[in-house]
Structures are given as C-alpha cells and as structure tokens.
Structure 1
C-alpha cells in the first residue's frame, strides 16, 4: 500500500531537511564532491529578503522524503517568463508511490498559474529512470541543446575580462 503523503511549500524551518535531501540527491548522482553550500546559505537564498528560488517539500508522516526546487527564467523568443526545475528528488525507498509525479505536476501547475511559456529542466544522460519518467509524462528530450556552465575562478576571469 502506498504511503499517504503531502506536498507543501517549503518554509524557513525546512532548510535543514532540504539540505539533507540535496545531499541525498548528490549521493544518487555520484556528485557529493560538488556539495559545498550550507544550510544557512540555502535558507538565505530560498527564504531570505531576496529569494532566488522556491521549493516544494513532500512529506510522509511528517518526514521530508522528497523535494522540487525551481526558479523563474525568461524566454526572449516568447517574451514570457519560464519556470526551471533545478532539482526533483524522492528518497529511493519512497519512489514509485506517485510522490515524484505529484511534485512534478505541482511545479507544472505553478508554471501555468504564473503565465509561463516554458517549463524546463535538465537530466543527466545516464539517468535512464528519470528519462523514462519524464518521457512517460510527455516531455520532449532536447538532444541538440547542451548545458554550459562556468564557476569559480573561470567565472571571475570572464567577469573581469581576463
């Protein structure tokens, strides 16, 4: 029998639980070496004076078992905002109970409510369970687009014109 779960907006008091789930996601993706942000930084940017992102939390019996973290971007072609899903994660022992789909659908509904022209996210190419999950929901995987990133010293050098 599937456990009863709730999906709710995350609040400041959830920062520690969210941070732990983010670490669990990093373990799943074999990227724990990249986790450097603190609970305090997460709380500041999600719940502080200037909020850069939002999160939904999935709970079973009061325990945080999954989350979706998202933020607005903008499409110049559509001249409309979009919603970008940065992370969607459910603890392995709670998967296949509809929690991930409920989180995903809630963020999609927010995109519609907010008048967004796009709802986008990235998936690691080796993550076949996630790719199958998104295809099942009707997503188009865009192979022609590659995610680009600069961080740290490279970002500073670009910003300074070095």
Structure 2
C-alpha cells in the first residue's frame, strides 16, 4: 500500500515520465514549461499530502525527537514542531491563524508626514541605505515620528532642504 496520496503519485509519475523522455532523447527533451509545471505540481501535492504528517506521528510514537525529525525534513526543530505537532484540528488552526496574520493590512499609519525611507528611495532612484546616508550627512531632511503607543517611524522629506 502506498503512503502517498493518489494526486502525489500521479504527479510523481508525470515527473518520472518527463525525466525518462529527457534521458531517452537528450537532443529533444520535453518542453521546459511542462517540466516546470510537473515539478511544481508535485511539490505542491507533496506539501499538502498527509504522508509526511503520518510519518512524523509514527516517528514521534517510536521515540524520535523533534530535532531528528527537523533534521530529516530540512527544518529547524521549532518549525517542524509548529508544522506537525498536535491533532489535525490544532495543526489546521495554527496554519489558518498564520494565513490570517499574513493577510492583514499593514499597521503603519497612512497619515504620517513626509515619506517612508522606502518611498523616498524609490522617488530619488537610490537605495534605502543611500537615503539613510544622505540623512546622516545632512543632505536630506528626515525626522523620527513617535506615535502615542510608542511606535516610531523615520519620515523623509526629499522636497525640502535640510535644516542646518
């Protein structure tokens, strides 16, 4: 009995088929976009395949540490534990919470004076480091804005002459 899902096995077979075609005909390998799609689809299917979770649970039940599992998976111990520790519901809840956090809008206020360092760098056609350098040399006016909650933001005023 295979430990992979049907979808994972299907894409694994497709990648193997394309690889065999490339070996059989090196002068005329399969189209590159077909290879890219097949490899990415296989990677995606393997990522959501329960095979890894089941193997991790078997490993933990047999006394294998999170550090050993992390090493085998190419992750840090904390990342492996975050990904696979707990019940299916707990894992799903953690992953959903992570997706919600990454989908939140920025908490940077939009009504601050001047421009952010990044915006000023884009406007001036230079790097953010160059903006900081010009500020430190007195070639560019900037100030630090502190909000009532303690957050601070460097704001740049590229259209104004620096104060002497």
Say whether the fold is shared (TM-score over 0.5). Answer: no
Which structure is higher in RCO with an 8 Å CA cutoff and minimum separation 6?
1
The structure having more radius of gyration, on CA atoms, is: 2
Superposition TM-score tier, normalisation by shorter sequence: under 0.3
The structure with the greater share of residues assigned to strand is 1
TM-score (norm 1): 0.22
